[in-house]
Amino acid sequence: MPKAHRSLDWGFPRWRSYDSSREAATVRLCDRHGCEEKGECPAPKAPNSPERWMFCQKHAAEYNQKWDYFEGLDKAEKEQRARAERSENAGYAEAQHYGWSGSGDGSRSADEMRALEILELEADADFVAVKKAFRMKAKVVHPDVKPGDDAAAAEFRKLSVAYDVLKAAEERREWKG
């Protein structure tokens, strides 16, 4: 008489380890031709379309690299849309101090990015590089160096405002951190 064999699936605790079933797991591959990575990042196929590409992180970053939310809008519409975005996302800005982020990882505001652009720096530039770039550019257009030059004075003011924005952001990060 054969001995009865009990399944290990009965009751609690579960005696068999999780994910030990024999069924094949469905994995969606990246939609980029030739890529064999897992496609976990959705990207729209067209504006206002529900259809999505599924990319791996590397190809999603490449796809979104030059994407401009405000493309095709005139300056007034851009400002209105940006203002609406800021007011709708105010809760996220309030909760920003909960983040585990540092500079260069998408944590910079639009103002900080514009300031970095004025100083001709990359998005991941640290404050030492900001200070160095500001000093180098300010030496050239400082009102003491070029007295009476209105264009140089305007450029110096622009550089000073950019530096102040980045300095305030750095102080906020140090205070939080």
Rounded CA gap, 133 and 162, in Å? 11
Rounded CA gap, 43 and 55, in Å? 7
pLDDT in tens, 114-130: 999 999 998 888 899 99
Domains in the chain, CATH or no CATH each: 25-67 (no CATH), 71-101 (no CATH), 112-177 (1.10.287.110)
Of 166, 53, 66, 62, whose CA–CA distance to 120 is shortest? 166
Of 127, 120, 114, whose CA–CA distance to 162 is shortest? 114
pLDDT in tens, 34-53: 899 999 988 888 777 788 88
Residue 82: pLDDT band with limits 50, 70, 90: confident
- The predicted structure's pLDDT at residue 52: 87
DSSP character for 123? T
Q: Which residue has the tokens 């590089």?
A: 129
- What spatial distance separates the first Cα and last Cα of the chain, rounded to whole Å? 71
Residue 16: pLDDT band with limits 50, 70, 90: low
Of 156, 161, 117, whose CA–CA distance to 138 is shortest? 156
Provide CB contacts within 8 A for 97, sequence distance 6+.
176
Mean pLDDT over residues 93-109, rounded?
Answer: 57
Q: Which residue has the tokens 């920003």?
A: 96
Of 151, 105, 142, 153, whose CA–CA distance to 125 is shortest? 105
Residues making up the chain, counted from first to last: 177
pLDDT in tens, 154-163: 999 999 999 9
Note if the pTM is more than 0.75: no
Which span out of 4-8, 88-92, 126-130 was modeled with the highest average pLDDT?
Answer: 126-130
